[in-house]
A and B are shown apart, each in its own frame.
Chain A
Amino acid sequence: MDRNTIYQDDAVPSIFRQVANAFNARGAYMVAFWTLMIMLVIMIFSAVLAPYHPHHQHTDLLLLPPSWADKGTVEFFFGTDDLGRDILSRVISGTRYTLGGALLTVAISGLIGVAIGALAAMLRGLRSSILHHLLDTVLAIPSLLLAILVIAILGRGWSTVLLAVTIGLIPQFIRVSHQAVLEVLATEYVRMARLDGYSKFRLFYRVVLPNIAEPLIIRFTAAISSAIMDLAALGFLSLGAQAPAPEWGSMMASGISLLTTAPWVITLPGIAIFITVLSINLVGAGLQSSFKKLESS
């Protein structure tokens, strides 16, 4: 057998490994993680995976039920909508809008927010106070409302919605990173690191960053799920992606008049949103509990 059975611990695993091990130990989290991974793969290869073009209208096959219904066919697995478009193709293509859009907005707002928050925490006096209090005020407005505000100014449309959601997410990132950096800077180990002669940059990257990783990672996962909800909600209110685009929220909105006659038009994109948000939240919860385990060991 391998030597691990003879020597119990060959090497002390890194913090990253320890978190990954704790995460791996829980089945539910792993299911959520792989669901998310499959979603990402579908998103990247959506053009290849979708059986039909999402905008192609099969005019002779309007409102075809999903394949598991009596009248359904396997060719249109999730059925078709009132314009004869294949719903499976639209849900698959929709990952690019809803999930991809959420990832993009979170990445951009996260970068900006963490940079501003960390800077505000490292600065002292008036400059820090202005940044901090200004953004506290912004934080009082819910992100969806803030996004609607931006849309009211810039007009509707997909790129406006992306911008709006990005702006809506920034304050939370500033808040979290500001708090976390302040907390770390007040610790004894930062004081000792200063005496050890760390340069400002090294201090940030060796001491501060590893210690704020935990709240930031958890914030990022929460932000992705809330970005998906925001994008879908704005799409549902037809403020976001416009009509033919297969964004999940707007797909649901277009199906709302058919709720009684063709419920699959609205439920299937809804289930897609549900599964995505659920798996992201589970991954977030799993990371949180894995970090907790690290703390207590």
Chain B
Amino acid sequence: MQTPLLQVKHISKTYHNSKGWFRHETVEAIKSVSFDLKRAHTLAVIGEAGSGKSTLARILAGEMSPSSGDILLHGQNLNDTNQRQRCMDIRMIPQRPSLSLNPRLRVGMQILAPLVQHRSLTPSLRQQKLYATMRDVGLLEEHADYYPNMLSASQRLRVTLARAMIVDPEVLVFDQTLSAMDITMRAQLINLLTMLQQSRGMAYIMIGHQLSMIRHLADDVMVMQQGEVIEFRPTDEIFESPASEYTQRLIYAYNELVQGPSS
């Protein structure tokens, strides 16, 4: 069997919050989470607030390291490789794209930022790469000279996408990116993401509980509760026969919303 693109093995994260001078409070945000993700597949992670899904996103994106456990990309342990390279293979799309752009720097420079740091490309090649990526996410070349405040919300989202994609990552992590978006933008985004996944073979991890989007995009759904995985199954199965009580409630509410009350 072919090795999956991303393997997460028993990662856990414990926070030590200091309360006062000497007392500490330990919170186990994630308790031994494992999963595999194949190329060009999409995994959705849902769960209540405080279930550890945001922590999982931050660990995957390389913003913090897990207390224990391993993350393997192409069968290679990520904890050993160089931190910078690791941040380039798994890229995060932030929750609020508008706030995640530096208001005082031209958009093109920001998209190029990860490339400038890491690869010694000639300026002309870099420029080509910038324009190609911008075209891929549906931006025009002249947008590179704009400042973020001149763009619309959906264009800003595209900028953050371009910034994540310019280094050709293998995995994109969406940290509740979709929850703040209105319906038309979500529709645009679904189309864009499916297209990019097909052309580039990226794997997506979507954190959040936009069930309608998950149903469209996700191949598998992972349900978390209090730092543990309580369900991990293909999307169709989850939607047809939710096993855990939390999922049942969620799906029930969703169905009621979509089809109207079933009484």
A residues near B (Cβ < 8 Å) are 11-12, 15, 187-189, 191-199, 202, 206-207, 210-211, 213, 294-295, 297
How distant is A291 from chain B, measured CB to nearest CB, in Å? 11
Min CB distance A290 to B, Å, is 14
CB of B26 within 8 A of chain A? no
Say whether B117 contacts A195, CB under 8 Å. no
Give the segment of B29-37, B84-92, B130-138, B217-225 that binds chain A: B84-92
Task: Please determine whether B118 and A188 come into contact, CB atoms closer than 8 angstroms.
Answer: no
Report chain B residues within 8 Å CB of A295. Answer: 149
Most buried by A among B95, B96, B102, B147: B102
- Give the distance in Å from the alpha carbon of A197 to the alpha carbon of B91 in the complex: 11
Docked-complex contact B105 and A207, CB < 8 angstroms = yes
**Bitwise interface map of B from 59 to 82 toward A, beta carbon under 8 Å scored 1, else 0:** 001110000000000000000000
Find chain A residues with CB under 8 A from B88 CB: 197
Q: Which residue of A has the minimal Cβ distance to B63?
A: A195
Contact with A along B100-116 (1 / 0, CB 8 A): 11111110000001100
Interface of chain A, helix or strand or loop or mixed?
A: helix
Which residues on the A side are within 8 Å of B101 (C-beta)? Answer: 189
Assess A12 versus B100: contact at CB under 8 Å? Given A192-B94, A195-B63: no
B84 touches A197 (CB 8 A): yes
Give chain A residues whose Cβ lies under 8 Å from the Cβ of B99: 187-189
Which among A197, A198, A199, A211 has the highest number of chain B CB atoms within 10 Å?
A197
Given contacts A197-B88, A210-B105, A211-B102, whether A12 and B63 have CB atoms under 8 Å apart is: no
The answer to whether B100 and A191 have CB atoms under 8 Å apart is yes
Which of A192, A199, A213 is most buried by chain B, counting CB atoms within 10 A of its CB? A192
B188 to chain A, nearest CB (A): 22
Asked if B117 and A199 sit within 8 Å, CB to CB, the answer is yes
The reply to whether A195 and B104 contact each other, CB–CB distance below 8 Å, is: no
Residues of B within 8 A of A15 (CB): 104, 147
Chain A positions within 8 Å of B117 at CB level: 196-199, 202
- Hey, what's the 0/1 contact readout for B33-59 against A, CB within 8 Å counting as 1? 000000000000000000000000000
Contact A210-B104, Cβ < 8 Å, known A196-B163, A197-B117: yes
Partner of B106, one of A12, A194, A199: A12
| Nearest CB in chain B to that of A297: its residue | B149
